[in-house]
């Protein structure tokens, strides 16, 4: 690893060990702990509720540490997951060395590390979401030759007592996009989170205030976003999990609430989890062709659109998810795609496609004298329906399944052409085009029905098991939200109670 890369890398272990996190070994972790005064070790792993759990150890000696890093520890699976029975509940948790980071919130020097689940026979736990995701990614690569990378846009609200917020410089209601101090009040909290996440290995693209901001009689609400760079599916999920935990820890220190709920109240911007994706072959992007979106990318998009209704079963998992997916809120309701089009389910953002785009820097800087470089490697397509209630590992697995499905469709490019839009479908003058497009599910119940209809695609190559599909369907149907939007229309107090019950989702 280049010295300059280490000097600028915020991860303390990368700096100290002088190597990328992907190359960390057990000996590296022990070396860092011994030479940096680390006193405690924390294993972290995802629970059935989507939150990171914790198991803390006081490091007694090197033999004890070596044993923990080699053998892991036992946990009670039946207390972590509803589908694991008490009579066979023991699971192993084994640390993933590349995820180690210094916990910035502990007074006692502590190293945290994410873990994977293993069963009694020492195999990756088949029912673990992480295992399913890894299988989905492996099958995609085996069948197509492409590697899928992804990244998430993590949106959230900060909720503070209005009396504790200086309102001398109020932001304009629902006009907070990229607003700056002093019109935003929790810019510093976001920046601290960005630094902590980066120090824990997260590759952050940028952070900013988002559209949503408003006040009611008691509280001030401010929406923010932290967006990541593309990475492997596993790294994408691991870093999102750490980011959500760190934001909550900081909010607790600030005396405010952070919520990743998809909807806070009707009529105000909801919080999504937009996921950008790109395909690589031999380490190089295949997203761009002849200055535009490649046929490879269109094939992948077609596959995702074909099973999009079923993907919501993993990406929109609570009733309030569907209070967000309504027209005119930059949240998709119909199955379609387009360039730079925020009314579409899948959007292809500006992608540095043209040769001219590499020359913009010289226009902004007339003294620029370096050779122009192509930046088309940044090109992605963005799935805009999911929200932070998602089972993150299963959502990424579903994306891998959809993309693989696209390459197995006989008419993928025809489907992509048919579902392409170049207008805002929510405008009255385009209502005829809107009428031609299928709707996304409007509730968890409808999402469950879609998953049942599409289950053979998800189960192909043994990626998703029938038991996992059935458990997902039963969970979603059990939420009893069929036609909930119609039932709640105009009942603001009932809506508020529903939102409050899911305020700390995931």
CA distances from 415 to 106, 172, 451 (A): 52, 41, 20
The helix (H) or strand (E) run that includes residue 347 is: strand 346-348
Give the pLDDT score at 295. Answer: 96
Helix (H, G, I), strand (E, B) or coil at 275: strand
| Paired strand residues for 204 | 228
Per-position b or e across 422-452, b if 16+ CB within 10 A of its CB: eebbbeeeeeebbeebeebbbbbbbbbbbbe
* 3-state class (DSSP) for residue 307: coil
Q: What is the pTM of this model?
A: 0.95
Nearest to 330 by CA among 149, 153, 151: 153
Using DSSP bridges, classify how beta strands 90-95 and 73-76 pair: parallel, antiparallel or unpaired.
antiparallel
Q: Are 321 and 444 in contact (CB under 8 A)?
A: yes
Q: How much of the chain, in percent, has pLDDT values that exceed 70? A: 97
Q: What pLDDT is stored for residue 357 in this prediction?
A: 84
Region 259-273: mean pLDDT is 93
Whether omega for the bond prior to residue 374 falls within 30 degrees of 0, making it cis, is no
The 3-class secondary structure across 133-156, one letter per residue, is HHHHHHHHHHHHCCEEEEEEEEEE
Residue 356 falls in which region: left (phi positive, over 0), alpha (psi -120 to 50) or beta: alpha
Given a cut of 70, whether residue 1 has pLDDT beyond it is no
Q: How confident is the model at residue 85 (pLDDT cuts 50, 70, 90)?
A: low
- 25 Cβ contact partners less than 8 Å away, ≥ 6 residues apart: 97
Predicted local confidence at residue 428, as pLDDT: 83
**CB-based contacts of 210: which residues, under 8 Å, 6+ apart?**
155, 176, 177, 223, 224, 225, 269, 271
What count of other Cβ atoms lies within 10 Å of the Cβ of residue 266?
Answer: 16
Kindly state the helix (H) or strand (E) to which residue 102 belongs, with its residue range: strand 101-102
Cα-Cα-Cα-Cα dihedral of 155, 160, 164, 165, to 10°? 30
Which DSSP helix (H) or strand (E) runs through 206? strand 204-215
Mean local confidence (pLDDT), 486-502: 89
CB-based contacts of 459: which residues, under 8 Å, 6+ apart? 465, 466, 469
Distances (CA, A) of 214 to 56, 176, 217, 374: 39, 9, 10, 41
Q: Which of residues 495 and 194 earns the better pLDDT score?
A: 194
Backbone angles phi, psi at 244, to 5 degrees: -65, -40
Evaluate if residue 3 carries a pLDDT over 60: no
Say if residues 229 and 200 touch (Cβ distance below 8 Å): no
Half-sphere exposure of 385 (CA within 13 A, CB side): 31
Q: For the chain, give me the number of helices (H) and strands (E)?
A: 19, 18
Q: pLDDT by residue (tens digit) across 117-138?
A: 999 999 999 999 999 999 999 9
325, 333 in Cβ contact below 8 A?
A: yes
- In this prediction, residue 201 carries a pLDDT of 95
What does the alpha-carbon distance between residue 374 and residue 368 come to, in Å, rounded to a whole number?
Answer: 16
Question: All domains of the chain, ordered by start, with CATH?
Answer: 3-125 (3.10.20.70), 134-502 (3.30.590.10)
What pLDDT score does 276 carry?
97
pLDDT above 70: residue 293: yes
- β-strand pairing of 101-102 with 90-95: unpaired
Q: So what's the pLDDT on residue 55?
A: 98
Confidence of residue 484 (pLDDT cuts 50, 70, 90): confident
pLDDT of residue 206: 97
> According to the model, what pLDDT value does residue 309 have?
98
Strands 337-339 and 346-348: parallel
pLDDT computed for residue 125 by the predictor: 95
Residue 218: pLDDT band (50, 70, 90) is very high
Residues facing residue 215 across a β-bridge: 220
Q: Please say if the pLDDT value at position 319 is more than 60.
A: yes
The whole-angstrom separation of Cα 393 and Cα 404 is 17
Average of pLDDT values for 134-153? 98
Beta bridge partners of 208: 225
Please provide the average confidence, as pLDDT, over all residues in the chain: 93
What is the chain's alpha carbon radius of gyration, rounded to the nearest angstrom? 23
């Amino acid at each position: 690893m280049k010295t300059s890369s280490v000097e600028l890398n915020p991860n303390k272990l990368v700096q100290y060990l002088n190597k990328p996190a992907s190359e960390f070994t057990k000996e590296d972790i022990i070396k860092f702990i011994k030479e940096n005064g680390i006193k405690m070790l924390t294993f972290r792993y995802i629970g059935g509720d989507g939150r990171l759990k914790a198991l803390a150890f006081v490091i007694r000696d090197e033999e004890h540490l070596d044993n923990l890093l080699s053998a892991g520890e036992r946990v009670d699976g039946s207390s972590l997951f509803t589908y694991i029975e008490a009579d066979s509940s023991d699971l192993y948790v084994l640390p993933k060395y590349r995820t180690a980071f210094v916990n910035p919130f502990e007074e006692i020097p502590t190293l945290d590390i994410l873990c994977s689940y293993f069963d009694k026979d020492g195999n990756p736990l088949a029912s673990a979401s992480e295992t399913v995701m890894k299988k989905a990614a492996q099958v995609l690569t085996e069948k197509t030759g492409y590697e899928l990378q992804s990244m998430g846009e993590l949106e959230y609200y900060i909720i503070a007592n209005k009396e504790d917020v200086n309102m001398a410089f109020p932001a304009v209601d629902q006009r907070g996009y990229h607003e700056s101090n002093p019109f935003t009040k929790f810019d510093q909290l976001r920046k601290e989170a960005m630094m902590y996440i980066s120090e824990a290995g997260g590759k952050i693209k940028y952070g900013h205030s988002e559209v949503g901001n408003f006040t009611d009689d008691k509280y001030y609400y401010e929406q923010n976003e932290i967006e990541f760079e593309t990475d492997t599916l596993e790294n994408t999920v691991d870093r999102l999990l750490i980011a959500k935990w760190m934001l909550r820890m900081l909010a607790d220190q600030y005396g405010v609430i952070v919520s990743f709920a998809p909807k806070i109240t009707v009529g105000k911007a909801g919080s999504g989890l937009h996921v950008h994706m790109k395909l690589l072959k031999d380490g190089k992007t295949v997203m761009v062709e002849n200055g535009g979106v490649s046929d490879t990318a269109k094939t992948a998009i077609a596959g995702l659109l074909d099973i999009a209704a079923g993907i919501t079963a993993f990406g929109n998992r609570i009733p309030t998810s569907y209070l967000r997916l309504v027209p005119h809120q930059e949240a998709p309701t119909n199955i379609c795609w387009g360039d730079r089009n925020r009314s579409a389910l899948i959007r292809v953002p500006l992608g540095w496609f043209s040769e001219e785009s590499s020359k913009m820097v010289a226009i902004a800087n007339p003294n620029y004298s370096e050779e122009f470089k192509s930046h088309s490697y940044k090109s992605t397509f963005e799935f805009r329906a999911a929200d932070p209630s998602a089972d993150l590992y299963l959502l990424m697995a579903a994306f891998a399944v959809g993309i693989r499905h696209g390459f197995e469709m006989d008419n993928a490019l025809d489907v992509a052409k048919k579902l392409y839009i170049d207008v805002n479908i929510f405008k009255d003058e385009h209502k005829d085009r809107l009428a031609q497009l299928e709707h996304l599910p409007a509730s968890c119940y409808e999402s469950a029905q879609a998953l049942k209809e599409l289950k053979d695609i998800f189960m192909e190559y043994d990626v998703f098991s029938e038991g996992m599909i059935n458990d997902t369907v039963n969970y979603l149907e059990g939420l009893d939200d069929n036609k909930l939007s119609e039932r709640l229309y105009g009942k603001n107090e009932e809506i508020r109670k529903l939102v409050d019950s899911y305020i700390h989702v995931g």
